[in-house]
Each structure stands twice: as C-alpha cells, then as structure tokens.
Structure 1
Amino acid sequence: MSAPDEDPRGESWTSIPTHLILAELQRRKEDGEKPQCGSRTRGSYDTSAHVFALVLILTLSTIACGFPLLSRRTTTGRRQRTIIFYCQHVGTGVLIATAFVHLLPTAFQSMTDPCLPYFFNEGYPPLPGFIAMISAIVVVGVESYLTARGAGHSHAHNHSSWDEHDESDSDATLQEMTGLSDRRSGSRPPDICLDDTETQGLVAGVSPLPESTPRGREMSKFTEDFHDGDSDLDLDMDELEAGPSRSAHRGAYASLKPDDIPKAPLTPTSPGIPKTPEENQRLLLQCLLLEAGILFHSVFIGMAVSVSTGPAFVVFLVAIGFHQTFEGLALGSRISAIQFPHKSIRPWCMVLAYGLTTPIGQAIGLVVHRLYDPQSMGGLLVVGFMNAISAGLLLYAGLVQLLAEDFLTEKSYKVLKGKKRVQAYLSVVVMSLFLNRSPFLMTSTAPTKQWADGPMKLVLTPQYQTKKTDLFTTGATHMCLLHNAIIRGFNTIYLQAPHIQDADKAAFIGYSQTWFRFVKSHHDDEEDNLFPKVQDLLGEDPVWTQTHEEHESFLAGLAEFNTYLDTLDAPTSLDSVKLISIMDSFKDNFENHFHSEIATIAAFADHPKAPIADTPEAAVASETFKIWGKKTVTKAGMLDVVPFFLLNLDHTAEDGLWANWPPMPAPVKWGLTNIAGSWYGSWWKFSSCDAQGQPQELYALRSTN
C-alpha cells in the first residue's frame, strides 16, 4: 500500500512542481460558478421621457460650452474677464477630477467585473491603468510629431541657453543690448504689454511693436481700454529688462513685414493681446486633445442615460445634466482662449461637437435600448476601454497642458501672480476637491449581500398599505419615510462596524455620529414643536403619552452610543464589539418606537376632533405638517445630516412610489446631496444608497466573502 503522500503510481506529491499545483488549483477555481453578466431587472421604458432627456442634454451641453464664447461677445470689461478667468481655472479642476475620480475608477470597475473572463478580473487587473498610460504616451508622441512638423514650439525661449548660438541668437542678443543702451540714454523703451490673467489662463505674450507704429498705437489703445489696473499685475523695473523671453518673442516676428503680422481681430471680444501663430496653434492642439478625451466617454454616458429605466432615470438625468454643464464650461473656456479669424465658425463647430456627442449616445441608446445592456460582457468591456482611454487623455491634458502651463511656466510666474495666482489656484483646488468628494462620483454596485433592510425591520408606509390620502395617513407616511432613513442608518452602522479597517475608522465615526445627531434632533423637534401643535389640534386629552414613554426607553442607550464615540482616544481605538453591544442595549426599544409612532399618527385620522377633509382647519393642519417636515432635517445640519438623510432614502422602495420624495426641485436635491455632501464626502461611502437613490452594496462588506 502506498504511503499517504504518494499517488497510486508511486510518485510523491511533494515531487510535483509548485507551478503545476497552482495551475490545477486555478483550473478548479475557473470551473466554479461565475456570476452572469447583464442587468438583472429591466423596468418599463418611457420613450417620450427619453426623447425629452435627449433634447435637455443637447441644450444644456451646447449652452454650457458656448457660454464663455457668448460672454466674450456680450459682456465687456472686468465682468467678462472675471467670467473667463474663473471658467478656465474651475474647468481645470473639473477635468482633472473627472479623470482621476470618475473615469479611471469606473474603468477599473467595468473591466474587473467578476462576470468577465479570467484575464480581465484576475489575470491582468491593472489593464485599465495600462490603457490610460498608453493613451497619454501616444498623445505625447502625436504632439511631439506635430510640433516638429511646424505646429510651433511654445517654450523655445526657455531653452535658449542650451541651444546652439546661431545667427538669430546673436541678433537677439544685439537687440537686447541695444534696448538696454537706449533705456540708459533716456530714450523711451518699447511698450511691453502682458495679457490680463483674468482672460488668459495659459500664457501671455509681449507686444513686439513700439507705440510709434500705427499698429502699435492701435494695440496700445486697445490694451489701455481692455486691461484693468490690478496692482498685482504691475511691472517691477527688473521685469522690464529685456531678457531671453522678450528677445525670443521679438525674434518670432523679426523676419516679418508689418503688414505680415497675424491680424487677430483687435476688438473688445478678444481674450487678450494677439498671440504668435505658434502659440495659437499649440492652444488649438491642446483644446482638440481635451475635446477628444471628453467626447470619447460622452457617447457612452449618453447611452447609459437612454437605457436606464424606472425611478433611477430621473435622478441619473439630473446628475448627467450637471456633469455636462461643468465639463462644457471647462471646455468652452479653453476654446474662448484661442484666437480664431474674425467670424470664424470653427469655435462654434467645436462647441457643437461637444453639445451633440452625448445626445448622439442617447439617440443610439434609444434605438438599441432593448439590445444594449451596459452590464453585459460587451457593454462592460467597451465602456471600460473607452473610459480608460479618456482618462489617459484628460490626465495628460489636465496636468501637463493646463495645470502646468497655468502655474509652472516662466510666463505664468510673470503674468499670474499675487492675489490672481491665489484665486486661480483656489478655483482649481475647490472644484477638484468638490468632485473628488461628491457622492455622485462615488462608484457603487447593487447589493449582493446583507443590506440595510435588516436587522432592524423597515416600516411599511400607511399610504402604501391603505391607499388613503387623508391628513394623518399622509403625515404618518412622511414620518415613516423619515424613520426608514434612520433605520437604514442604524443598520448600516450595525452591519459594517465589524469590518471597518483602521484607515476608514475616522470616516465611519463621523458617519455614525451624524446618525446620532439626526436621531436626537428629530426627536427633540418632535417633542418641542410637532407634538404640541397636534395636541392643540385634537383637543385637551393627552395623545402622546405612550410616545413620550417610548422616547424615554432608548434615550440612555442613545446617549451612551454618542459618548463612546466622542471619547475615543483615537479613531483606531474604535472597538466594533463594544459599539454593537451598546446598540444592542437599545435596539429593541428603538425599533418598537419607530413602528409604534407611525401607527399612532395614522390612528389620529379616526379621532373625533380630527379636521374634516377640504376644510380650512384641515388646510392649516396640513401646512403645519409640511413646515415641520421641511425644517426637522435641515435644522439638524445642512452639511452632514441632510446628505445622510438623502443618501439613506431608497427610491426603489414600495415599487418606487417615493422616488421623488421629499418634494423639492431635482436640482436642489442634487445640490444638497452632492455639493453640500462633498464637505464630508468620505463619510457617505457607508450609506445604504448611492446619489441616485439606488440601494448599493455596503462599503465595508464589499470585500468580505
């Protein structure tokens, strides 16, 4: 009989090479069940709503991209320059954040989906990053080739000390010495004009023409009319010295006759002093690369909008509307910095290309909405590849062509300085951080594990159960929706606490204490405002006695919960066992109250003194409920409690009946979720729903088996 570690052929298992064992284990793993690609459920399709969405996105995208150009033509003076200035630098932040926070993570998410073949999710998971890197390197090669073929070398003056000293360099040096001699002898130096940094975010040139020439006088007059007198743009005497950068700019026109100088239109609509043809060509190339990076993924964004259905469609449409607006402003501000010939249609063609791309994707989605599934294998791979390519293009354009050009070039230090430099930098930082922390850019997946509908049970709304619409049934329903947001918050903390990593504990504590503030503010507001008003409405008999007792039953445990989190020596000291033990101490009473209070309020509909429908008393009572409902959440905290509340509202609950609750304009709801929510953006990854109100896999459970 063979030994235990030998097979029947007499070979020892220890003699088998390790790579063969690993290969066999991998084969057995691959033979196991893999999740199927494709969307699990498909809602009913409203064609008219999707056609309206196409027109809306077309309008928003085109207006946003064309706005900087329109403002140049319709607004003059400081206001126009301020608009362009902030659009450019805010736009830089948008593009960088879009690449880092939106495109690259979604490319990884799409291309490493477990349903894809082994190569993508396990064989070579870094593939999206590799594609982005290659696309950026290709762009560098293309730009280098075009530059060598005559597109212009905008930084030639930076390398003059390294280049060979040919005849033109000698001439430039002679001009430099002559200019210095003229100044020392008291003669008037040529005018040196810097572009206004508010209108030109990239670079600024020097006027090569003295005021004594006719065109020089025209330029000088235009400069005086167009530029403001900001003290931070004043030239010091050492900046007036003719240096290599000045001589290089003179050299650019040295071989031209006055009539041959490029005649960009010198009107108040110009973004600044005319640039050299090389600089203008470079700006155009940069802008085209930017637009290419944006357009690649815009088609698939449009397709995603058109194939979405149900309650998610409306929220998704609002999010994409804001996305297109921000990107359009970013691109349009860069188009407006390019000097095109007078009445040229090229800038408007670029605007139209941006405006049409997402709607083209929407149109494709309308046609193939029954065939195209973004969660299918083909959909995941196509979207992943395109997002990775777009990320590479935008990373290169945003970091190298925009951020570095705006803040790190020699010209930028001479032109963009003082308070203008600080304002420009803050514009980039604020917008990029907003998008980095905003919930609508966070990646999410549908729940496959235990979700926030347990262990504490959610409450069915009375209106869904009874179909009644009287004052107290409606009031109880709205209270129920508030309660369910709090219950989901409780469950997200309870379920995720054991799996929180040290790096996430600070954010998790912030999320948990926001839940506490929400609960405490809600119950304090009930006791101080809502209960007395309802008591007055129904008469002298006490109607809240049981509810008061229920509140008292869990307040001690709730206070202990907050005290424990508030007195931790450090976030890493968080003990999930201790936290769950505290939550268990008040969970039953807490759950009982949240169910019981809804039944109590709904029962008031049968109270003898309840207002009769369609009477002035009923109208007053209804308004009381509405005012209290609006204030009870917002007064608790606009930057923390409001986003917490909105990100724990399930728009799919009860067949999507409450997808548009609370009743407020969609842009306002989007702003409260994503703009206000960006302040504590790292906290909301623990929420039960994403920014579109869709249930999401709980963050701390995503990596658990």
Structure 2
Amino acid sequence: MRNAQYRRLLRRDDGDDELNCGDGGGADTFFGLRVASVFIILVGSMFGALFPVLARRSKWLKVPTSVYDFAKYFGSGVIIATAFIHLLDPAIEELGSPCLDPKWGDYPYALAFALLSIFSIFIVEIIAFRWGSAKLASIGASHDPHGHGLGGHASHGPETANQAVDEEKLRDDSASVLVHNPTGFVVDSAATKILGIAILEFGVLLHSVLIGLTLAVDEDFKVLFVVIVFHQTFEGLGVGSRLAYMDLPRKYSYVPIIGALLYGITTPIGIAVGLGIRSTYNPESTTASIVSGILDAISAGILIYTGLVELLAHEFLFNKEMMDGSNGKLIYAIGCMLFGCGIMALLGKWA
C-alpha cells in the first residue's frame, strides 16, 4: 500500500497524473479477481486463526507441542513487525499526505496517536488487574501477575485458615481460572485474559478492515493481493496461537473460536465494502488519509504494547520456565520470534 502511494506520487511529479484528493473512485481493473480475493483471503485468514484453536482442542488430531510453540513465538514476531512496518510507518505517510492541510505537518500526529494508544491500553490494563486482584482478595486469594503463586503459601509447612484457598470454589467461579504449577496455585481473572486478547484483536481487526478496503480499489492489485494472502495467514497464525493458549473456564470456552472467526472475516468484509463503494471511495482522498492514518496509528500503539509487554515480557522475562530452561530452548524460541518478525518485515517491501 505504501509503495503504491509512492509510485503514484512519482508519476504526479513527472506530470503524468494529477493529485486527486476528492471522493473519486479507485481502480476498477481485475474486477473478477478482486471478487475472488474475498473468498481466497477468507480461507487463508480462517485457516491461520482457527487451525491452532481447533487443533489444540481436537482429540484425534495429535499436533506436537513443538508446532504450537513455533506458531506462538513466530506469531509474536509477526505481531511486532506488523505494528512497526505495516501500521506505524503507513500512518506517518498517510498523515503526511499532500492532500492534507499543511498544519498536519507541523507535528508528528501519527506518533502522538500511537503514544496515546499505548498509554490508554496501559491504564485500562492497570484498572483491570486491580479489579481482578480485589475480586480474588475477596475470596481469600492473592494474585501475582508474574505467576509466582498465591500469597506465598506453597510448600513450606501447614496452611493456616486464612491462607487456605477454596480450590473448588475457584474452579467453579466463572470469573477466574485456577492453574497449577510447581510453585503453587495461580489464579488469573478470566475477565483480564479476555480483555488482553480483546485488545490484541481490536488492533488487528482495525488493520485488517483497512487492508481489505485498500485491496478492493488499489491499482497495484496483483502484487498487493499475493502479499496480503501471506500477510493475513501469518498474522492469523499469530492471533490463533494466542487464542489457543487461553485458559478459560468452560463457560467461556467459545471465546477463542469467536476471536478466530472475527479475525477471519474482517479483511473479506473490508474487501466487499470496498468493492461496493469502489466508484466513490478514493483511498488517497483527504478524508480517507486522515481516517486511515489515525486508525493505523492507534492500531500500531495497541500492537506495540501488546507485542512488547504481553508477549515478549511475559513469555520471556517473566516466564520462570523460559528463564530456568535450557539455552537451546531459549535460542529456539527467540529464533522463531525473529523469523516471524523478519518474514513480516520483508512483506512490508510490497505492502
């Protein structure tokens, strides 16, 4: 998308094209293939997001744990590269469009919106964790966000009445999940888990809809189409692997599937909408540049925060299993992450 805009600007500089900042229409070539792209990308996106979720739940499909680990760490790299290469950089270009008032160039608005997004997500999560901790305290448990157990009650002697946790009550509580590990019992609020994945999904879905709209009307359709097929599949694997590893009460077991389905349909919906308004929608117009630039910047902030804090920090720095594990395991995980980041960053050359 970004490179296509550069090529159009170069043509304008050569006098071959005129700057069109109005409502005009987008390209209408390869209409049949554009329609087919709705279904092709739907299949790729659905496969990427749903396969990890369904495979982990399947009793007959025995997928090795190493495959899930690869998808999880690969997906983390994909999400981080998406934030910087596919969202933040295009946002800077869109809000620097020659169609915009020169005042938009007086301040780095794209970076400001991304910064606002990062701190907004941080504040929302702080509030959510405080609410979850208060709820757990009300039933006699304490919560360590780094996964170090409940109130230090683990295996150093008999528990007092105040330290004992009613495990059955926690298991039955639809707002919490009880997970056993070698250091004791860790309770995580299902609401905060759902909030975390919802934040990730929100950022990805905004991006996916904008991709679909652009693909429907962009004149460099063929190259963009091929790149987006891979882009959406890889990004789907990243989102799907996170959804697959959500430990939720049975009452919320549908949440990962709903999340995967939402991811799968957003880009096709964007393409369909773009095709429907192709005679009036101009992705280079003043309004489109402002709206897509702001949304891309906000999405970039969401994915930067999620990728660096929720994925990297929690998967590596705050993960006792990773810190105490073998060097080979750590190198493999980091290698998978860098591979995913590199592949998605490379796709940024064309889209």
- TM-score, reference length from structure 1: 0.41
Partners of 2:122 and 2:298 in 1: how far apart? 14
Partners of 2:281 and 2:114 in 1: how far apart? 25
Partner of 2:232: 324
* Residue 64, structure 1, aligned to residue 48, structure 2: yes
Partners of 1:79 and 1:415 in 2: how far apart? 25
Partner of 1:666: none
Partner of 2:295: 386
Partners of 1:157 and 1:35 in 2: how far apart? 55
Partners of 1:252 and 1:394 in 2: how far apart? 40
Q: Per the alignment, in what secondary structure is the counterpart of residue 178 of structure 1?
A: coil
Listed one character per residue, the Cα deviations across residues 445-496 of structure 1 (whole Å, up to 9, x for unaligned) are xxxxxxxxxxxxxxxxxxxxxxxxxxxxxxxxxxxxxxxxxxxxxxxxxxxx
* Residue 255, structure 1, aligned to residue 165, structure 2: yes
Match of 2:198 among 288, 293, 305: 288
Q: CA deviation at 1:143?
A: 0.7
Give the direction of change, closer, same or farther, for the CA distance of 1:55–1:41 in structure 2 (3 Å limit): closer
Q: CA deviation at 1:70?
A: 2.2
Partner of 1:140: 122
Matched-pair contact (CA < 8 Å) for 2:215–2:271: yes
Partners of 2:84 and 2:111 in 1: how far apart? 11
Partners of 2:290 and 2:161 in 1: how far apart? 51
Matched-pair contact (CA < 8 Å) for 2:132–2:192: no
Partners of 1:367 and 1:331 in 2: how far apart? 28
Listed one character per residue, the Cα deviations across residues 66-88 of structure 1 (whole Å, up to 9, x for unaligned) are 01112213477984311110111
Partners of 1:107 and 1:405 in 2: how far apart? 28
Q: Per the alignment, in what secondary structure is the counterpart of residue 62 of structure 1?
A: helix
Listed one character per residue, the Cα deviations across residues 518-562 of structure 1 (whole Å, up to 9, x for unaligned) are xxxxxxxxxxxxxxxxxxxxxxxxxxxxxxxxxxxxxxxxxxxxx
Partners of 2:29 and 2:50 in 1: how far apart? 32
Partners of 1:76 and 1:86 in 2: how far apart? 21
1:126-525 matched pairs, under 5 angstroms: 126-150=108-132, 153-155=143-145, 172=152, 176-178=155-157, 254-256=164-166, 258-262=167-171, 276-278=186-188, 280-309=190-219, 312-342=220-250, 344-409=253-318, 411-414=320-323, 416-436=325-345, 438=346, 440-442=347-349
Matched-pair contact (CA < 8 Å) for 2:55–2:63: no
> 5+ residue gaps in structure 2?
1-17, 137-142, 174-178
Listed one character per residue, the Cα deviations across residues 283-329 of structure 1 (whole Å, up to 9, x for unaligned) are 332211111110111111000111124xx222211111111001100
Q: Per the alignment, in what secondary structure is the counterpart of residue 278 of structure 1?
A: strand
Q: Per the alignment, in what secondary structure is the counterpart of residue 247 of structure 2?
A: coil
Q: Per the alignment, in what secondary structure is the counterpart of residue 100 of structure 2?
A: coil
Partners of 2:193 and 2:25 in 1: how far apart? 47
Partners of 2:199 and 2:144 in 1: how far apart? 17
Question: Which residue identity does 2:230 align to in structure 1?
Answer: F
Matched-pair contact (CA < 8 Å) for 2:117–2:302: yes
Give the direction of change, closer, same or farther, for the CA distance of 1:66–1:78 in structure 2 (3 Å limit): closer
Matched-pair contact (CA < 8 Å) for 2:317–2:323: no
Matched-pair contact (CA < 8 Å) for 1:107–1:384: yes
Give the direction of change, closer, same or farther, for the CA distance of 1:401–1:416 in structure 2 (3 Å limit): farther
Listed one character per residue, the Cα deviations across residues 255-289 of structure 1 (whole Å, up to 9, x for unaligned) are 30x5334279xxxxxxx969844165443322111
Partners of 1:350 and 1:435 in 2: how far apart? 22
Partners of 2:191 and 2:325 in 1: how far apart? 22
Instruction: Give the alignment's Cα RMSD to 1 decimal.
Output: 3.3
Partners of 1:71 and 1:85 in 2: how far apart? 13
Matched-pair contact (CA < 8 Å) for 1:71–1:80: no
> 5+ residue gaps in structure 1?
1-33, 161-167, 180-246, 265-271, 443-690, 693-705
Matched-pair contact (CA < 8 Å) for 1:38–1:374: no
Question: Which residue identity does 2:274 align to in structure 1?
Answer: G
Give the direction of change, closer, same or farther, for the CA distance of 1:426–1:398 in structure 2 (3 Å limit): same
Matched-pair contact (CA < 8 Å) for 2:27–2:278: no
Partner of 2:39: 55
Matched-pair contact (CA < 8 Å) for 1:406–1:412: no
Partner of 1:105: 89
Partners of 1:370 and 1:255 in 2: how far apart? 63
Partners of 1:68 and 1:130 in 2: how far apart? 35
Listed one character per residue, the Cα deviations across residues 384-436 of structure 1 (whole Å, up to 9, x for unaligned) are 11110000000000000100101101524456443211111111112213333
Question: Which residue identity does 1:391 align to in structure 2?
Answer: A
Match of 1:93 among 66, 69, 77: 77
Question: Which residue identity does 1:62 align to in structure 2?
Answer: M
Partners of 1:253 and 1:352 in 2: how far apart? 42
Q: Per the alignment, in what secondary structure is the counterpart of residue 255 of structure 1?
A: coil
Matched-pair contact (CA < 8 Å) for 2:132–2:189: no
Partners of 1:293 and 1:252 in 2: how far apart? 42
Q: Sequence identity, in percent?
A: 31
Partners of 1:80 and 1:280 in 2: how far apart? 27
